[in-house]
């Protein structure tokens, strides 16, 4: 009897071969470089900018306040943060449906930092053929020196990136002083090393594998694609049959298409794919293959655009539809959300009030025939100046406050105050809703009300 | 006459391997749970302050308010990684497969 073959699950991933992207110049390479400078410039410079004597952009975890230039967000403003995340996600959908993987190509931190790490690798180990030769060569003093120099640059840049990351959460100038004297707190040190190592690992070691195997967006972005989405495509009609030819050969002679099969498009690809095999999930739309192919076409005197940004519909000689239902729905939703976000920010009150009833007693009957409820008011001054606030209470019956005084709340502080509210027992009977109002003494527009229940016997 | 003076295709089959498939699986688990942990930490600490969990910040010692955020993040990450790893194990192990062959790689 023949034994059944043992059940063996197969691995999901093939063995990985290291990719050596070739350096390329061109329109899109310049655009990517511009994006790298703009985005990394923002990242590394922002925490060093000051405004009103404080760090301009600081997510102060200890004080639970987010400073974004003039804007100060509190935990109570969480809705804005949530809205911002939804807007970011919807923007991603909108631009992906419109123009493909723009995010991956120009703005994703993985792409941007990988560009910098690749630049350091080129600087220390040379261009693509030199790097391949170096990796194949046996260990020598020269190889050790080049590899060590690269690692030193990578690690140093990673640590600086980690330090900057912590500088968004902890005042960066003080952090720098601490770092120089090796007196950063254990957690600041941890995050500095953690983020530095993550940058080194993702951008230096794993690179395109993060996009291919780890990025969720790379997996579901195709759901937002349709036949009118801008993608990078090889023009098969024009390029095939591909093949090498003599330089002086007339275009189209020998039955050949425009592709000379130089494989530059493959060599420059950071994910190592061959765009000529069609649209692939691994393509991050960096357009390096367009630059490579355009360079080759220029050299041999053929028109550019054998590999280009186009749509599936345009390739079929039809007209691309830009304003289609998917785009309109994403666009309208995006506009509504941005409108709501801006309106909310403009109308946002720079003052907060929270009212809590005393949980120990429902109410207290006083000897003078009145009933008393005790409350704790939490007054939040979200402005950057201190204010003195008056508290009033309104509602059915004649309500009185004890104590009746004004409360000074420093800038950006929350101050709890205990208050007693009294009224005649049966005037009216039973529980009622009352309104607390606080108003700044120096600015009557700085005011807010908050409802509360006033409990009293009903018979 | 030579063809165009451009580099020929370079065989890369004998080049060294980068990350192993096993390392890639670990990376997927770690990364997915990291993203989930970022979202979880953001939402959790938007509503719960460290002072609600450990009281007023001590003047000295290891457990200050910043460490609560870090430990919260690491806690979310560990739980997320465990869930991801179990889900991946169940997906990758066919019913009836010998339990000694989890086939991580």
Domains of chain A with bracketed CATH = 15-348 (no CATH), 351-454 (2.60.40.10)
The residue among B66, B93, B95 with the most chain A CBs within 10 A of its CB, best to mutate, is B66
Q: What is the pLDDT of residues A261-320, one digit of tens each?
A: 999 999 999 888 899 998 888 888 889 999 999 999 999 999 999 999 999 899 888 898
Residue A398 confidence (pLDDT) above 70? yes
Bond preceding residue A428 cis, omega within 30 of 0 = yes
Tokens of B29: 């688990």
| ipTM of model | 0.71
Contacts of A10 in chain B (CB under 8 A): 103
- Mean residue pLDDT of chain A comes to 88
Contacts of B73 in chain A (CB under 8 A): none
Residue A19 confidence (pLDDT) above 80? no
Q: What is the largest CA-CA distance in chain B?
A: 82
Q: Are A279 and A233 in contact (CB under 8 A)?
A: yes
- Radius of gyration from C-alpha coordinates of chain B: 23
CA–CA separation, B20 and A382 (whole Å)? 52
Between A11 and A34, name the one with better pLDDT.
A34
Contacts of B41 in chain A (CB under 8 A): none
Supply the pLDDT for residue B54. Answer: 82
Contacts of B10 in chain A (CB under 8 A): 129, 132, 263, 267
Supply the pLDDT for residue B37. Answer: 95
CA–CA separation, A67 and A58 (whole Å)? 5
What is the mean pLDDT of each successive set of 10 residues along chain B, which is 105 residues long? 39 44 83 92 88 75 80 95 92 70 50
User: Which pLDDT band holds residue A14 (cuts at 50, 70, 90)?
Assistant: low
Decide if A64 and B21 are in contact by the 8 Å CB cutoff: no
In this structure, what is the dihedral angle of CA atoms A216, A221, A224, A229, given to the nearest 10 degrees? 170
Model-level pTM?
0.78
Element spanning A314, H or E: helix A312-315
Decide if B3 and A132 are in contact by the 8 Å CB cutoff: no
Q: How far is B84 from chain A (nearest CA, A)?
A: 13
The residue among B1, B23, B46, B51 with the most chain A CBs within 10 A of its CB, best to mutate, is B46
Contacts of B32 in chain A (CB under 8 A): 214, 216
Q: How far is B4 from chain A (nearest CA, A)?
A: 6
Supply the pLDDT for residue A9. Answer: 44
Domain boundaries, given as residue ranges, for chain B = 21-55+62-92
């Amino acid at each position: 009897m023949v034994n059944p073959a043992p059940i063996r699950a197969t691995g999901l991933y093939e063995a990985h071969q290291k990719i050596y992207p070739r350096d390329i110049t061109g329109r899109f390479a310049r655009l990517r470089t511009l994006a790298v400078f703009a985005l990394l410039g923002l990242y590394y410079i922002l925490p060093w900018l000051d405004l009103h004597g404080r760090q301009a952009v600081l997510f102060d975890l200890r004080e639970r306040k987010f400073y974004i230039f003039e804007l100060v967000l509190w935990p109570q403003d969480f809705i804005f943060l949530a809205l911002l995340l939804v807007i970011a996600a919807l923007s991603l959908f909108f631009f992906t449906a419109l123009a493909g993987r723009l995010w991956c190509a120009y703005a994703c931190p993985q792409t941007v930092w990988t560009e910098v790490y690749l630049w350091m690798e080129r600087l220390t180990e040379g261009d693509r053929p030199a790097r391949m030769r170096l990796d194949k060569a046996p260990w020598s003093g020269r190889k050790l020196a080049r590899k060590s120099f690269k690692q030193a640059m990578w690690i140093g840049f990673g640590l600086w990136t980690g330090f900057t990351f912590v500088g968004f959460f902890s005042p960066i100038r003080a952090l720098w002083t601490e770092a120089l004297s090796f007196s950063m707190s254990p957690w600041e040190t941890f995050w500095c090393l953690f983020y530095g190592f993550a940058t080194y690992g993702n951008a230096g070691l794993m690179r395109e594998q993060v996009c291919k195997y780890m990025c969720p967006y790379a997996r579901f972005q195709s759901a937002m694609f349709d036949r009118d989405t801008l993608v990078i495509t090889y023009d098969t009609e024009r390029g095939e049959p591909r093949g090498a030819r003599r330089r002086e050969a007339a275009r189209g002679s020998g039955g050949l298409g425009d592709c000379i099969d130089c494989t530059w498009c493959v060599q420059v690809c950071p994910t190592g794919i061959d765009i000529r095999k069609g649209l692939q999930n691994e393509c991050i739309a960096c357009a390096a293959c367009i630059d490579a192919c355009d360079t080759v076409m220029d050299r041999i005197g053929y028109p550019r655009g054998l590999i280009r940004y186009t749509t599936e519909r345009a390739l079929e000689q039809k007209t691309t539809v830009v304003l289609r239902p998917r785009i309109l729905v994403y666009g309208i939703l995006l506009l509504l959300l941005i409108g709501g976000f801006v309106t909310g920010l403009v109308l946002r009150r720079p003052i907060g009030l929270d009212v809590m009833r005393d949980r120990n007693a429902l109410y207290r009957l006083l000897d003078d025939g009145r009933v008393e409820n005790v409350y704790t008011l939490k007054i939040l001054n979200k402005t950057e100046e201190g204010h003195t606030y008056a508290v009033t209470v309104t509602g059915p019956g004649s309500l009185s406050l004890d104590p009746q005084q004004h409360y000074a709340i420093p800038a950006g502080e929350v101050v709890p105050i205990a208050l007693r509210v009294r009224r005649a027992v049966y005037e009216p009977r039973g529980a009622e809703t009352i309104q607390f109002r606080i108003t700044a003494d120096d600015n009557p527009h700085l005011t807010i009300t908050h409802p509360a229940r006033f409990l009293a016997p009903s018979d | 006459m030579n063809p165009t003076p451009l580099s020929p295709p370079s065989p890369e089959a004998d080049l060294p391997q980068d990350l192993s498939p096993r390392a890639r699986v670990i990376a997927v688990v770690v990364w997915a749970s990291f993203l989930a942990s970022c979202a979880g930490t953001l939402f959790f600490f938007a509503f719960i302050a460290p002072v609600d969990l450990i009281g007023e910040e001590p003047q000295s010692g290891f457990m200050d308010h910043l460490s609560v955020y870090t430990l919260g993040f690491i806690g979310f990450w560990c739980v997320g990684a465990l869930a991801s790893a179990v889900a991946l194990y169940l997906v990758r192990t066919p019913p009836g497969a010998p339990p000694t062959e989890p086939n991580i790689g």
